[in-house]
Amino acid sequence: MESQLPKFTREPEKYSRLRLLEALQELYLSIEMLKEGYTRNSASKLFLSWKALMSSLVVSNFNKIIEKKKKEGKEDDIKWYLRIGYSAPTTELMGIARDLEDLGFRGLVNLTTAMLGIHKYAYTGLDEDISLSHSRKDAIIALKELIKSEIDIVNVNSLDEEEKELLEKIKKEIDKL
């Protein structure tokens, strides 16, 4: 994404929409890389897409998250979300996924676990001592399934025309794989 993101606290809806668009763009690039046989690059783009989508979900549900944290007396969590949590940092994706699941989103913890595995594959490749994927075939199957899962999550969002267009393009491309 070329343009600078607005401060999420000033323009949360715009920030969330831009992160959603970023997620779709990275998802499309992941598919393009996969079509060319660059599985590690595809995995990297897929993970970036997931982070952007998680950030979009956090910001679009920010008030609900903060309200829940207040009820739980977790002031440090509120400060953290305001300082950095809205950006969905890699090291805290599991906690964010749990917080979003507490709001009614289903399957985010399992998907985040899988996305962290694909992130590891992007860095380590087929190293059998480190990577969860032990063959290119396994990696390709995982990438396709995770892309489809992310598409399902994006589908529940209300999309503008540009986002709908890109999502349809992504669906067509993933069906070709």
Residue range 43-68: mean pLDDT, rounded: 97
- Number of domains within the chain: 1
Domain assignment of residue 38, yes or no: yes
Domain assignment of residue 52, yes or no: yes
Closest by Cα among 22, 24, 26 to 5: 22
Residue 120: predicted pLDDT: 92
Residue range 148-165: mean pLDDT, rounded: 90
Domain assignment of residue 2, yes or no: no
Residue range 40-61: mean pLDDT, rounded: 97
Domain assignment of residue 5, yes or no: no
Residue 97: predicted pLDDT: 98
DSSP 30: H
pLDDT band at 4 (very low <50, low <70, confident <90, very high): low
Return mean pLDDT, the chain. 92
User: What gap in Å lies between CA 144 and CA 140, rounded to an integer?
Assistant: 6
Domain assignment of residue 127, yes or no: yes
pLDDT at 42 over 90: yes
Domain assignment of residue 6, yes or no: no
Residue 158: predicted pLDDT: 78
Residue 135: predicted pLDDT: 82
68 membership: H or E segment, kind and range: helix 62-71
Residue range 68-89: mean pLDDT, rounded: 96
Tokens of 42: 């595809």
Residue 3: predicted pLDDT: 57
pLDDT band at 95 (very low <50, low <70, confident <90, very high): very high
Closest by Cα among 40, 2, 42 to 147: 42
Domain assignment of residue 60, yes or no: yes
Sequence-separated (6 or more) residues with CB below 8 Å from residue 119: 43, 44, 47, 90
* Identity of the residue numbered 92: E
Domain assignment of residue 4, yes or no: no
Render 72-130 in DSSP notation, one character per residue: TT-HHHHHHHHHTGGG--GGGHHHHHHHHHHTT--SHHHHHHHHHHHHHHHHHTT-TTT
Sequence length of the chain is 177
**Which domain does 129 fall in, by range?**
12-176
pLDDT at 28 over 80: yes
